[in-house]
Amino acid sequence: MKKLTSGRIFVVLVLMSLMTVPVLATDTDLAVPYYQQENDYYCGPAVAQMWTDFHSSFVSQNTLYNYIQDESEVSTPLTEEMDIADFAMTQMNKQDLLQEELKDSTPGKALFVHSLNKKYPDYYLIPFEKNGVPRVVSTIIVKDDMAVFGACAALEDVKSIIKPDLDEAKKVLLDEGYGDQWDSRLVWKPCKQTMSVFMPVWEFSNDINETKYVGYNQFTQQVMVYDKLITKKLMG
């Protein structure tokens, strides 16, 4: 039976909770074992237990829940002097994540994302690039005065970790007739427009308290302008 290290268990849980992206339905059936959650707040551990058992491991829900709560192995004090990209790289190397994609890469500009969900903190998106092309993106969560390693993902055929980038978002907003006198920032919350922290949207606001959002629709493959982000409950 395979064993998962504590760091790998934690990363599995974080990835499962954060990397939620819309997918098209398929006819593939997987023989995933079913475990009912043992109490009202063990939704995440129950899902993680099914995933680990499917991959020839077994971890109790109590153990998984405790790993979710313990961030000591993947956090550090957040100071002005700290190199947040180096911290992300150190965590990925320590946990043996995406090593081939990270080889010979250099960090790009970290982007700060404001969370509009009270239950989820603000975070950074950090690209790691080869020849100027993003190959890996990592999240670093900001909790009080701590930086916490969140998750990472490999990228293929992208020019920027944000789609659309700010220039394209501004152009689409202008083309829709909204003018160009807007302040902008990246924001995220679980909503109909995006369920993944790797896919924040641009929030534009002006002096008369108008707000517009610009994001990329994966299904129509178009950049869209939204009047509001429609809240969608997370499963579990």
User: Sorting pLDDT into bands at 50, 70 and 90, what band is 23?
Assistant: very low
Cα-Cα end-to-end distance for the chain = 28
Domain ranges of the chain: 6-23+31-70, 74-154, 166-226
d(Cα 27, Cα 17) in Å, to the nearest integer? 24
Contacts (Cβ under 8 Å, ≥6 apart) of 84: 78, 110, 124, 126, 140, 147
pLDDT per position as a tens digit, 2-20: 344 444 444 444 444 444 4
pLDDT, tens only, 100-123? 999 999 999 999 999 998 888 999
> Residue 75: exposed, middle, or buried by beta-carbon count in 10 A (0-12, 13-18, 19+)?
middle
- Asked if pLDDT for residue 184 goes beyond 80, the answer is yes
> Model pTM greater than 0.85?
no
Q: How confident is the model at residue 24 (pLDDT cuts 50, 70, 90)?
A: very low
What is the rounded CA–CA span in Å between residue 174 and residue 168?
A: 10
pLDDT at 22: 40
